[in-house]
Amino acid sequence: MPFGTIRLRLTLWYALALIIILAGSGTIWYLYLSRSLLYQVDQRLQGVADELATIHAHKQGRDGNNHFSAQLDDFVHRYTQGERIQIVDARGEICCHSDNIFHDHEHIPLSQTALRKAHRRESWFSENNVAGQQMRIISVPQFENNQLQAVLLIATPLKPTTTILYDLLGMLLVSSPIAALAMLWGGWFLSGRALAPIDRISHAMQSIDVNKLSSRLELPDSPDEITRLGTNFNNLLDRLQGAFNQIRQFTADASHELRTPLAILRGETEVTLSWGKDVGDYRRALESNLEDIDRMSRIIEDLLTLSRTEAGQAPLNLSHFSLCEFTQSIFEQATIYAEPSQISINLESNLDQDIEILADRPRLQQALLNLLTNAIKYSDEHSTVELSVDLVDNDVMFAVADHGIGIDSRHLPHLFDRFYRVDEARDRDAGGAGIGLAITHWIVAAHHGHISVVSTPGEGSTFTIRLPLLPPTD
């Protein structure tokens, strides 16, 4: 038997508690019964003494103590249940006794305490051994003319009482070990029943590994401690599964996105090594390789950003800054980026110069530039991209509109999912990895804002970001 198990410890504690309760209740019951039986004996002795005192007082003045023996025997047979009666005078000398006292050694002793109590007109209960029998004795004083004339001694054997108590004690001593064994077995059984769900949870835990993180413990609907433990374990599995899924997703995304530029990089390098004849060939190959390396660097940086945001490791660095100056900076950077495509950037702003926003400036700049660069990529040459900024209540509204190819409505619900592409070939040709909009969506959500899109194929798209000027503090 494993002595270190919770089941055994619970069983022992359970059995020990019940044994203590049983021993305590047995002791209390024994003491209560002992007092109750003794009280009944005393009540019986007191009743006999009262009857005898009445008769003795009536006869005493006429016959005296020494001539009461005949009446005493009649009293014993008529009123008592075998009690022994003895009458002594004020000096303690025996005057008469009942006929069930056969020998001198069976005389009822009068203790000095009882005699002192008698002189003070007090009755007294005591116990004494008379002729080998434990007796319960009551002494009752009898006065005449304020003088102690006699002491009535009435005794009854305690054997019937002690027999009952010994029988009870014997029954308790015999039944206690049996009860203790029954309690141990019952405690072992009940603790096993109580801990059975923990055993099932333990076995289920052992069967869960990194390949079975989707498994969950089956739990009852009862709101007990074991159910709460199982629920917490399931919640832990949810967090672990999410973390492992992020790792797997990151690995899969990285390998998927890096495969194409690596293949191009390898192919161009192999071709150059095989067919390159002059410095110009090698230079063009290196320039192409550098573009692929830059693209892979951007992909890796975006992947790391997404991983940090999903792990909660990309906190915002909020600061106050001028909204007008910030918008002008975004406009200038977008204009530079649009020049090679001969696309015009129009800025429409109705903001006052002193309006400030509390936000993470680099992150917000990244979000808006993502939208502007996408608008530029998917717009025709010589077209126009509009950037507008306005205040609505206590929110700032950014809108980026283009007149490009547009987006079909079936793609809109998934547009902010990472690595989702409306057109795989076109997006790769444009140098995108499908991560920018996912990052933009996270940045807006982190600022307690909202981003939406309206698009018509062949006419263009409009992305709208709405942010509070003062986001609530978490």
Residues near 21 by beta carbon (within 8 Å), at least 6 away in sequence: none
Selected residue with higher pLDDT from 322 and 184: 322
- Indicate the pTM of the whole model: 0.48
Whether the per-residue pLDDT at 425 is higher than 60: the answer is no
Whether the per-residue pLDDT at 430 is higher than 60: the answer is no
Q: What is the DSSP string of 99-134?
A: TT--SGGGSPP--HHHHHHHHTT--EEEEEEETTEE
Whether the per-residue pLDDT at 140 is higher than 60: the answer is yes
Distance, CA of 108 to CA of 111 (rounded, Å) = 10
Q: Which pLDDT score is estimated for 1?
A: 45
DSSP tag of 5: S
All structural domains of the chain: 26-164 (3.30.450.20), 225-310 (1.10.287.130), 319-468 (3.30.565.10)
Q: Where are the beta strands (DSSP E) in 286-375?
A: 319-322, 344-349, 356-359
Distance, CA of 121 to CA of 441 (rounded, Å) = 105
- What are the helix (H) ranges across 69-219? 69-79, 112-119, 159-207
What value does the mean pLDDT take over residues 216-225?
70
Lowest mean pLDDT: which of 22-31, 246-255, 316-325? 246-255
- Is the alpha carbon torsion for 333, 338, 344, 346 positive or negative? negative
Residues near 309 by beta carbon (within 8 Å), at least 6 away in sequence: 439, 442, 446
